[in-house]
Chain A
């Protein structure tokens, strides 16, 4: 089955080239991000710069940092709060040839117990009189997993991603986007610190913990459709749906609807609502019947049955209208996301005295803030 997909993708990549295509704009972005929810705060900067040269090339570089301070529900019930930092660097190169655009990229991510390196390659082409853009991508990632306090532990993960995107002009006011992505992982896929819970009559609380054990392979498929419609008074509506399924039996649906409204004074406002739901992995349980109950066991709430909803408000202000020196345009932007997570089979163990398996279900809210400045030159 996999070979069939690859053959289809490579036959597309070999399709006859037409002419045209446009390199991405020259721009620089400086972003400060902050996530606060469920006992976890994550903050840091992201700087992205992109510049064309020799008329056919565009180079990009990104520096990104996550500073994590975690006292999450997992940490307070089974471990100690911790702080850590992750630094990610990416570089990319786009090459335009007739109507073909090719790009290559490399990303390195470092934290004290995890290193990830990813190579990516992509190609896109405008067809049907530039009404349609088709893009194909492939990424290969190699991760090295460690465990703090255990120098003897070291394992690997290899990831491969296959992407297909189609962007289509349907009318002079309506755009359609389709995306498909298959990801395969092989190696050590669980969190080396997280534990599962099982019934144990010999403990005061009636349960005990042991390490998670995940399968060493995972393959997922996701497909999405998105539309964007230009309203007569200069505003945009967008809607999106994504379906997801993987070999761990997680099925997920994502819906999103949003509205973007610019006004004459240089402000642009946006609002968005996103709803997500998923079913649990087939080896997930909040409480296993006994130790070593089955070959694979997880109690990661991200693998449980849950829903999340996000409400977004954003504002952008044009600060360099008409240009200033070498800067053609500049914006200041703020985006606020309020996220609400409700778990259906992950229980909150912070209380005392409950019979194991009857504790209240866990839920939490998170606030995400993005402040960024963008300059085009």
Chain B
């Protein structure tokens, strides 16, 4: 680690220090929501709809209430008394907490049973009798706006179709002009199916209300505790919940991936029930509830077109998208963008012009569109562009690497303004792809493929050279419910030089306790082992928008650096006082101030911390602490080039990923080991939708991928050996030059694998197959049968 500024003992940026959180996780000593036990706690379980669309004729709770241990059955009518049966979504839509007269998707919450123990609650659920009258369903989004389609949201005034929104970006006429005059145009329908994060820990909460003090405490599986507190105060203020008396605690979280951003009805029912009964209530989803009802990702039907010159120069891009949002628009996009940052779809390429449009529709499926980067829609955009570049290459008989190299935004063009208006901060796309090709032996692989083809063997090489856009975001553009998307850090140095640092973000496995400590170590020279990091308790942590969308390092990480710099400014004053020198005569090196030219005359940051409480200069406040709310000036744009090599069994259609090399560039790296771990995890989560995962529905709206029997999550057996490497192109505007990495691999991996599979079959005339690339679909493509 030649570039590290700090010693391994201090453990600042660039050191692969071991994760501070791991000892408790490895020993089973984590503290998750389900570990929380309160005196007198009761349990809640949820009755769910078997129908995708049905009228509720009656709900009979008699038998359930007669069951020993059952204390209450809560229905929509119960909540209606408090006007809590409906709630707003983050997208200015509404969704049901519990229904009054109809259900709109299978597995929707219908009623809740509260009982003295979990078993009685589950028994009570079985005993609630609901009489339904099935209604016609809307499953296929392409038919959602047909004139004879049943209106799903007939509860909304003026909603006379299932159309939610139309959104467009770019220059329509300019792009159309390019297409009119193009040498070559290609067009493909690309569908990214509904998937689920399937985090190890499902969602749940423990809600406790003190009816004497009016204090509500909720331990909750949430990635954004502060936003939840504000939302609760806004929607439940009328029943007496005020923000100073709401405390949201997000303890250890077993995986979030966006699935723990939304406010699910279960939370609201549990909170309402605890406020009404005065009893602490625990609600924890089971696996099927989690898979079937919680926020999904994707479900984008894209029609993509590229206009190019004969030599492969990419000129114009057009994408028309149909977005299946389920029965409510409950995504978590920044308010301005109903299709998130989908317009990043020109990717790593220097297009002259582009135009995208997205239409959102309601269907009888669960709402969401948050998980896995879904609200920001970068995965969708990257899949579209990376697949389409290969389609152009195939059309022109060009090599997939050559066409990329010829069209990349050049290194010296940054900051680069995309035709869609994004200002890419920095990049070296040629460098990343070249490294990936050299490292994997691209030319040799091409030769091997040619030989295998002669023998009739199917081998494919796929490239994905993606550009990400993370770190939401600058307050001029980014807000959620009006709250700007800054994030925060509050750092206090104790007299003995130890540190407590609190953040507005919330780790779900990212290792914040380690990386934030390393940022502070880098900035102040205090050993990372002397820094305690706390997040997730709204009573103690500074306000922030939480952790998702790879935003923690770009926002809260930057906030930590800025707060440290404020601390250093004050430390300089104290050092000057202690050394009896002028402030401007002092210079900083890791962990100490010394007098210029007199290196022996120095004070350490620990000495300064002690003096801040014991011997601070007159006229200066005691203490050594600072808070910073960081409003990023721009997004950061991590990127990478991935190469996948696949072998396909022509008899079964089974795809085997033989090699996968990921070159990532996330700017300056805080902890290389954690970055590598995040890349390994992200790549596996990219492999999953490429080959296995899909939440599918039959014509009646029954979920046919709603348990781990059908929803195939890859295990270590299916996962190939990930090979990783990196280039480092710092962000020019981030105080640490860092960019964020958590989601790059899950965004970049699927097109690499899909491109490899199509490449393996390209000589058979195959130009596209939608993921997941199941043996059946691949076999049908090989044998020239339409994919099912």
Binding partners A and B: no
